[in-house]
Amino acid sequence: MKRLIFTCGDINGIGPEIVVKVLQRLYDKRVREQLIFISPVNVFIKYYHSTYSGFPFQVVDKKELPLSSERILVYNLPKVNLSIGKPTKQSGKTAFLSLAESFELLKNKYADAVVTAPISKYALSLAGIDFPGQTEMFAQWCNEKKYMMTFLSSGMNAGLMTIHIPLNKVSSKINSNKIKSAIDLITKTAKNDLGIKEPKIAVLGLNPHAGEDGLLGSEELKFIKPVLERKEYISNVDGPFPADSFFAMKRYKDYDFVLGMYHDQVLIPFKMMNFNTGVNYTAGLPIVRTSPDHGCAFDIAGSHLADESSIYSAYLYAKKIVQNRKKIKNN
């Protein structure tokens, strides 16, 4: 990997702080990649000084990027006023601009991957930006309909059938074709991006007790079981499992990937296990985008208490995925 981008996230949250901290960490480790931080310079400078960072950097604009050989670059966005600890229209606009600029750099092959700091969906809405999240944003920009929000860690990898939708709409978004597509995408991601040769996949049920043979819901019988009984999945895909006992018995340790039906079904156990090290990865895109698995943490913004471990893990996974994709391309 030659170049990697960090976005600023919501400037009133912990995003800028954890990015500056991880830039210092990577500089100390003497990583070879050129690191680009897309942020208003006044925001970067505030956290550069308050976190006692000392790495050299260069402020650049779009035209200057190709000319610089400095290890750490600050890609300057328009100056903004901070309201630390509070999502605002301006913070939503800046977060979106940082993401849009990062995608332009990726699309034009100037960078290999992007690590996106946390954003506030409320701030985006204040700015009039109609996206439920970064996953959907990058998928639309890539014009890719077959994508998935996944979560990666050393202890468990998981994917979501549905993402940022109300719970009462989950059932209507699940059918056999979508289940099959999700399993195929997880298999491809595990092999090509994570280097898992023969991935084993666990599929969770939607209803309590995985429907209990139709007594507590019919989605498992109608949509999930028929797919899992297909010949191509018999040896490597199991389920549908009742989610509560699956996690209580730590069955996730027997599998390379877990496919959950909705957001909190997977994210509650995943974050309990990996809150400071887990990584959000958008699978299925032609570009590589990772993110920490936590939010903006407005309650501790500006206190300098934010832990950069998760965004550091996001960097490591981005690097790993880029390297694995290049291996496949070169073979």
- CA nearest to 179, candidates 237, 132, 135: 237
Given a cut of 90, is residue 276 above it in pLDDT?
A: no
Query: Counting every residue, how long is the chain?
Result: 331
User: In this structure, which amino acid lies at residue 212?
Assistant: E
Tokens 């079981």, located at residue: 225
pLDDT of amino acid 1: 77
pTM of the model: 0.93
- Rounded CA gap, 286 and 306, in Å? 31
How many other CB atoms are found less than 10 A from the CB of residue 138? 22
Mean pLDDT of the chain: 94
Give the up-direction half-sphere exposure of residue 220: CA atoms within 13 A in the CB hemisphere: 22
Residues 98-116 pLDDT 10s: 999 999 999 999 999 999 9
Domain at 146-278, CATH homologous superfamily: Isopropylmalate Dehydrogenase (3.40.718.10)
CA dist 108 to 66, 101, 128, 177, 187, Å? 12, 11, 27, 34, 28
Are 42 and 143 in contact by the 8 Å Cβ rule? The answer is no
Element (H, E) at 50: helix 41-50
- Rounded CA gap, 322 and 186, in Å? 17
**Which letter, b or e, does each residue of 227-246 get, where b requires 16 or more Cβ atoms within 10 Å of its Cβ?**
bbeeeebeeebbbbbbbeeb
> Where in the sequence of the chain do the CATH 3.40.718.10 domains occur?
1-144+285-331, 146-278
**Which letter, b or e, does each residue of 273-299 get, where b requires 16 or more Cβ atoms within 10 Å of its Cβ?**
bbeebbbbbbbbbebbbbbbbbebbbe
pLDDT of amino acid 58: 95
In the chain, DSSP assigns E strands to: 3-7, 34-40, 58-60, 72-77, 113-115, 148-152, 158-160, 201-204, 237-241, 257-260, 279-283, 289-292
pLDDT of amino acid 171: 93
Say which CATH topology domain 1-144+285-331 has.
Isopropylmalate Dehydrogenase (3.40.718)
Are 291 and 314 in contact by the 8 Å Cβ rule? The answer is yes
- Rounded CA gap, 318 and 81, in Å? 31
Q: What average pLDDT does the segment 288-293 reach?
A: 96
CA dist 43 to 77, 81, 241, Å? 10, 9, 46
Given a cut of 80, is residue 283 above it in pLDDT?
A: yes
